[in-house]
Structure 1
């Protein structure tokens, strides 16, 4: 691109010089030639006038007296009737510019100038024009090089930015170049970088959420399948298989919910459902895990409570709270359902040390955890609760009590 810009600029300058320079050369040549001819004619008339005045006053006329009246390198011949011709200067050879004038006393004046003198002046003028043209070419090349660098460097920079985007580095550069077209390309690349960064963040978040949300249910399902392989009682096998199938359906719902939430965290499919059924389902799933840790999980409160939300999302929120109590809490975990105003509330409490004072309200932020965990579970649970118009709060830090607030379904 740089070479093309230099060549195109140089071509334009050369065309301009050829057109205007050629015209200027012709005009200057004619002007110099005409000026020389006019000067010779003017000198011939002036010399004739001087000779007339001396003849009238009967003064002596000689070449020495008229020598100062003739320009250098010019030749003059004065023919006076009845007298010898007077010659001033050396008669030129070759092509000459000449002029003749006749005085009132009958004298004749001839003035000649070598055309070589005019040619020399024309040559000097051409040299000046050629020098100016050369300076114009040099200036045009320098300007083209500067413009080429100004355009080529941003294009190289934009190409590197596009290459970085293609290699997985979506950081926007926010760099502008003062050229509207290039700045527009930079704006588009920065916008693309921000969109790619958002998509990568969403994908990583989805992967982290899925890993966190599916880990414990898969472990419980694995334990259930192990129990099936260890028993020979057909009735027990059927019962455990039925429970395992229900867990698989819930896992499918978890995956679909995660995908939906990744596309739009505010998208919900709230319906009226029996809240206690979801609570009891979570108790059945988590009781084996608590039993293996030597701990208990119990439930109390109203059993006829109906709420408006997405059952799968509520199950995931409760699972996150129960898992949080299993990992960070202690003693018995108690789930209690109650009503406050037009809201149905599920409280999850344990007998552990509670939430550290330095965490406080930040407990729902991603990557915030009191121990060496991912810090994702409570953040995902809060997002799921808010997607259905509910909310998740820390009601008491020590011992920890979390409350899930949902819209209460109207009673039939």
Structure 2
């Protein structure tokens, strides 16, 4: 593009120089020839003053010495050269002057000016002044060369200015192109720099806004994919463990195993629906759709996870304090969060796990405690990737806190030894009765 800008500027300068220099060159030529004719006319008039009345009867004339290479001659009425230099007989220009007017013209390769000489109101002769056109053309060509030199200097200056302006115009665009290529290559941190050119600066700001929007969109998609895969993997793990236990136990009640598998698949469907709703909801716009008594929600969670902990030789205990069993909580979001906390206790905790439900100032608090101790910095435990290990992805606790906050609740680390997480949810209003 830089070459194109320079080319356009150079063409524009050339066109301007041609349009300006052509009439100027013609004007120089005409001016030089007009000056030469004027000079010849002045020389002829100066010579005519020296022609006296006795010229008609044969008196000689002393002609002045002309400037440069001009020639002067005096002709009588018959057209014969009497004094000076020139053709022996009068040329057409001199014959026109014999009629009483100043005549100008060409004779061969000469410029000719003829002035009539009169005495007693009678034409007695003609003074002819001439100069070769070669000398005039020499001066014209020299002037043209000077004009060409000036034009070349102007063209060189135009090229330098065009190159500088091209760099000024194209450098921000090249920077924009490099930034766009970096973004296309996956570098979402690349940002276009500002420019002194308002239009290009506006394009840079627009591109940066677009990249920021794409970055947020991609981050949202990545978080959704990670969240969905984490929750689905947790539910599928429970379903797989239950089916494997039923398949590996001789004389197992297959009907009960199938019913448990159906319950797990229904929970898996609810997990998919809830993760999608959470991902599609705008910040602060998530509204739980269903609620159940806290006791029912906790008992359902205990049923799903009891076999998983039993397979590891660990105990899962459930405790519901009086007054909290009938309080309603958003069931689907609570199930998702408790699944994350119990999966975290299974992977990273030790010993028995206890889930306790209690009432706190009109809200419901659910404590999940195991017999292990937290090895991480409590300030970073909810950061995405903080607990990444061979057995986890490091996003579970982060996702659980996001879901709690989306439902208007709060998830905190209550104690580090034994490890205790507390989920606090506002009690939901009971559904209206149909009667």
Distance in 2, matches of 1:409 and 1:14, equals 82
The Cα shift of 1:16 comes to 3.1
Higher helix proportion: 1
Q: Write the mapping of 1:283-302 to structure 2, written as runs, cut at 5 A.
A: 283-300=302-319, 301-302=321-322
Indicate if the aligned counterparts of 2:37 and 2:111 stay in contact, CA closer than 8 A.
Answer: no
Match for residue 91 of structure 2? none
Deviations 1:1-51 (A, max 9, x none): 556545544444444334332222222222222222222222333455578
Deviations 1:166-193 (A, max 9, x none): 4444333323454444444434433333
Does the CA-based 8 Å contact 1:172-1:194 persist in structure 2? no
Please report how far the alpha carbon of residue 95 of structure 1 lies from its aligned counterpart in structure 2 after TM superposition: 1.6
Alignment of 1:13-412 (within 5 A): 13-48=13-48, 66-67=64-65, 70-77=66-73, 87=84, 94-100=109-115, 102=117, 109-148=127-166, 155=173, 157-231=175-249, 236-264=253-281, 266=284, 267-300=286-319, 301-302=321-322, 304-309=325-330, 311-354=331-374, 356=376, 359-369=377-387, 373-410=392-429
What is the CA distance between 1:233 and its match in structure 2? 5.1
Change (3 A) 1:216 1:271: closer
2:175–2:192 Cα contact (<8 Å) kept: no
Once residues 127 and 97 of structure 1 are traced to their aligned partners in structure 2, the CA distance between those partners, rounded to angstroms, is 27
Q: Tell me the CA shift for residue 231 of structure 1.
A: 5.0
Q: Deviations over 1:249-268 (max 9, x none)?
A: 11122222223323335423
Q: CA shift at 1:101, angstroms?
A: 6.2
The whole-number CA distance in structure 2 between the counterparts of 1:93 and 1:409 is: 119
Scaled by the length of structure 1, the TM-score of the pair is 0.81
Distance between the aligned counterparts of 1:225 and 1:371, measured in 2?
A: 27
Note if contact 1:172-1:189 (Cα within 8 Å) is conserved in structure 2.
no
Q: CA RMSD in A?
A: 3.7
**Superposition deviation, residue 85 in structure 1:** 5.9
What runs of 5+ residues in structure 1 fail to find an aligned partner? 53-60
Write the distance in 1 (CA, Å) between the matches of 2:224 and 2:367.
27
Q: Secondary structure at the match of 1:363?
A: coil
Post-superposition offset of 1:379: 0.7
Query: What is the deviation of 1:245?
Result: 0.9
Count how many residue pairs are aligned between Structure 1 and Structure 2. Answer: 396
Aligned in 2, Cα 1:156/1:410: closer, same or farther, shift over 3 Å? closer
- Per mean C-alpha deviation after superposition, the further-off stretch among 85-94 and 158-167 is 85-94
Deviation at 1:380, TM superposition (A): 0.5
Deviates more, 1:340-349 or 1:25-34: 25-34
Gap change, CA 1:7 and 1:221, over 3 Å in 2: same
Checking the alignment, whether the CA contact within 8 Å between 1:299 and 1:335 is kept in structure 2 is yes
Deviations 1:177-232 (A, max 9, x none): 54444444434433333333223322322232233323333222112112332456
Cα gap change, 1:396 to 1:6, in 2 (>3 Å): closer
Instruction: Supply the distance in 2 between the matched residues of 1:240 and 1:93 (Cα, whole angstroms).
Output: 127
Question: Structure 1 residues 151 and 320, CA, compared in 2 at 3 Å: closer, same or farther?
Answer: same
Equivalent residues of 1:296, 1:333 under 8 A apart: yes
Q: Distance in 2 between matches of 1:350 and 1:73?
A: 122
Q: Is the 8 A contact 1:296 1:331 kept in 2?
A: yes
Contact 1:74-1:90 at 8 Å conserved across structures:
no
Equivalent residue for 1:56?
A: none
